Amino acid sequence: MVKKFQVRIMAGLSLALVLFIANSLALGQTEAPDSAALYKKKCSMCHGQDGKGFSAMKTPDFTSADWQSARSDEEITDVVKSGKKGTPMPAFGTKLSEDEIKAVVAHVRTFGKK
């Protein structure tokens, strides 16, 4: 009788452990940021929905092949994180996560493919 009781306890504990591990793994997984939504919310007011920028604000045209080829992802990331001195471009390094910054950079790159 004691053995059946012990087996049930061990089975219950094992099941609880499996559920705990599965839940922990699920919590560790986060969805990728929505790059288009982030761009729209944080960037489009100065850079335009279409990425062409605004000449009056002197913002770059992200659709330009010359602009796209002249900058690495690391350079764009640095500007997003640190801002650009002498311009209205603010720093987003403390406002966006690393994944969100990567998503914005990836979205900026999509304008060069249109």
Report the distance separating Cα 102 and Cα 104, nearest Å.
Answer: 5
Q: Note if the pTM is more than 0.75.
A: no
Q: Which CATH superfamily is domain 32-113 in?
A: Cytochrome c-like domain (1.10.760.10)
Q: In the predicted model, what is the mean pLDDT of residues 53-72?
A: 95
The pLDDT value recorded for residue 104 is 97
CB atoms within 10 A of CB 59: 19
Q: In the predicted model, what is the mean pLDDT of residues 79-105?
A: 96
pLDDT, one tens digit per residue, over 19-62 is 677 676 666 556 789 999 999 999 999 999 999 999 999 999 99
Q: Does 74 have pLDDT greater than 70?
A: yes
